Amino acid sequence: MKRFACGLLAVGLAVSLAGCGSSAPAWDMEVPEYPWTLTCDEFAASLQEQGADYDRQQSGAGYSITLPEGTLYSVPVDAVALYFNADQMLESVSASVPAASRDSLLDALQDALGEPADSYRPAVISGLSQVFSVYCSSEMVQDGLSYVWHSARPLSESWSDELRAQFAEQLQYNYEEAGVQFEEQDAGTIAVNGTEQTQWYGSEAFDNYFANNWELVAMFQGAEGEDGRFTMTRTMLPPDPRRGYGYPSADDLNELFLQSGDEVFWMGCTDHVAATVSLGGAQGDGWINLCVVLPPDETGSWASYATTAACWDKDSIALYSGQPSAGQKYILPYKIFDWDIVEEAGGDKTRLDLTLVYQARSGENDVIDFIPGETVSFYPLPQILPPAEVDPDRDITLALNNGSSAPSTRTFTALAQLYWQRRQTPDPETADLSGLLAQYRGSTIVETFIGNGLNPSLEHRAALAEAAGIPGYTGTDDQDARLMQALGAPETLTGLG
């Protein structure tokens, strides 16, 4: 297999830096509360010793720990999320910054890191074709809206030749495993948010990636008077192919929805939200459909249907206000989700995890649908058109069906209604499990759980399976059949009618 060597001529690097543009500040960068030397096990043990409320999950090839609240540079923040690589080394720290903490955190960042960069356009890997290429992103510094700090020198200067070669080799292997080809081509152009940018291939792609990326980057996003988002990341080696785990790409997200077909929709439920999601288009110029139904309260039910512009990469999906439009220049997103495709049942089944990492707020009365830091697991479900006369909550039905009368939306509407009407939160240790699934049986265990008002996540199913005498639950067909029988599901499909 051919490997591309990285050309490291000083003249070439100078031209590359001029092409993407950035200042070169000089500081040591670290969040004092979460030093880079912190490992996942050490941090989890410390939190356990303190009796702190936290959640630890496997995330892709690594691990994540989330906290409902914490501090950054001694400033109070919410929804702190730490991501660790497969070797348990800390890779990023992020948090939601309440509007009341915004100015204090910006002052603390400036005291610790100095003046922010006047420009930041990192080189990113394109997910628009099956040939590996790199281009510089749109400007990410917006006065009053987003601020960036980064290491003094780019990777082309701060990393050794050996480390850059190792990074390139592992990255190339992982992308080739995903079907992406590596070819030497002359540089071309690509439209990024309506602006033509240079697009590099082969060894030039790696040269420009290293010349226009930095090992440490901190970013704050958020307008004055609104909640914001802070992230500090460290560029590390990609997953080692010899370790046996994959490397998701932006194309994987497209393929997930293309392969599922028109007769399937993706639905997820938590204690706070029932939602369905679909997306399409190109990575940098796409769209996303997001339907949400919240639990009813004393004022009634709340539901929304929206198709908005979206951009995504191998890590995150950014949602922008307004209808998608080719060539539109987007400034700041109103939502950002981290995403991951997760296998269950030993790889026989797949789910999509979305974790809200940024939410712009415009007023005190905004409806909160997704909770920052909370992961919603979406599962593929078949479309089942409910009878027209089944309409227990006309407000929800009208809100969603005014946005779309598609079979997926109608099926989601009916299931979301059942989920909230029959909501159950049983304690696996003390509850009578024999009738938990008695009211509804769907074509999958996830649909069956939703139709009976139960959270369908793997974690919740595994807890009930353990209590029902089915240890080691991973969601195989045999385990699902045994669990549905143990929880009293009807023997035949119930249907939404």
- pLDDT tens-digit readout, 25-64: 334 688 999 999 889 889 988 998 898 888 887 766 678 8
Q: Is the Cβ–Cβ distance between 129 and 201 less than 8 Å? A: no
User: Within its chain, how far is the Cα of 111 from the centroid?
Assistant: 31
Specify if 313 maps to a domain. yes
Q: How confident is the model at residue 299 (pLDDT cuts 50, 70, 90)?
A: low
Task: Give yes or no: residues 88 and 204 share one domain.
Answer: yes
Taking each helix axis from N to C terminus, what angle separates 407-421 and 394-401, rounded to the nearest 10 degrees? 150
Of 183, 213, 243, which marks where a domain is finished?
A: 243
For residue 4, pLDDT over 60 is answered with no
Specify if 494 maps to a domain. no
Of 243, 259, 294, which marks where a domain is finished?
A: 243
Q: Is the Cβ–Cβ distance between 205 and 5 less than 8 Å? A: no
pLDDT at 457: 93
Average pLDDT over residues 314-324: 73
- The average confidence (pLDDT) of the chain is 80
Distances (CA, A) of 177 to 128, 139, 207: 17, 31, 22
**Which structure tokens are listed for 233?**
């990341």
Task: Give yes or no: residues 14 and 147 share one domain.
Answer: yes
Specify if 468 maps to a domain. no
Q: In 3-state terms, what secondary structure has residue 329?
A: coil
Average pLDDT over residues 290-298: 79
Q: Is the Cβ–Cβ distance between 140 and 214 less than 8 Å? A: no
Average pLDDT over residues 386-407: 47
pLDDT at 128: 54
* CA 298 – CA 400 distance, rounded (Å): 20
* CA 396 – CA 256 distance, rounded (Å): 28
pLDDT at 363: 45
Specify if 491 maps to a domain. no
* CA 364 – CA 38 distance, rounded (Å): 37
Count structural domains, the chain. 2
User: Within its chain, how far is the Cα of 224 from the centroid?
Assistant: 25
Specify if 497 maps to a domain. no
CA dihedral 404, 407, 413, 415 (to 10 degrees): -160
Tell me which amino acid residue 268 is. Answer: G
Task: Give yes or no: residues 316 and 417 share one domain.
Answer: yes
Specify if 4 maps to a domain. no
**Which structure tokens are listed for 319?**
């949602």
Measured on CA atoms in the order 145, 151, 157, 158, is the torsion positive or negative? negative
Taking the alpha carbons at both ends of the chain, their separation in whole angstroms is: 57
Task: Give yes or no: residues 268 and 230 share one domain.
Answer: no
Mapping DSSP onto H, E and C, the string for 346-414 reads HHCEEEEEEEEEEECCCCCCCCCCCCCCCEEEEEEEECCCCCCCCCCCHHHHHHHHCCCCCHHHHHHHH
Task: Give yes or no: residues 260 and 239 share one domain.
Answer: no
**Which structure tokens are listed for 301?**
């039910």
Task: Give yes or no: residues 196 and 281 share one domain.
Answer: no
For residue 486, pLDDT over 90 is answered with yes
Task: Give yes or no: residues 216 and 310 share one domain.
Answer: no
Task: Give yes or no: residues 237 and 262 share one domain.
Answer: no
Specify if 84 maps to a domain. yes
Of 220, 243, 266, which marks where a domain is finished?
A: 243
pLDDT at 258: 73
Task: Give yes or no: residues 239 and 258 share one domain.
Answer: no
Task: Give yes or no: residues 275 and 156 share one domain.
Answer: no
Phi-psi region of 21 (alpha: psi -120 to 50; beta: other; left: phi over 0): left
Specify if 73 maps to a domain. yes
Task: Give yes or no: residues 327 and 232 share one domain.
Answer: no
Pairing of strands 216-221, 228-234: antiparallel
- The region of weakest confidence among 75-84, 261-270, 425-434, 474-483 is 261-270
Task: Give yes or no: residues 239 and 255 share one domain.
Answer: no
Host domain of residue 255: 250-421
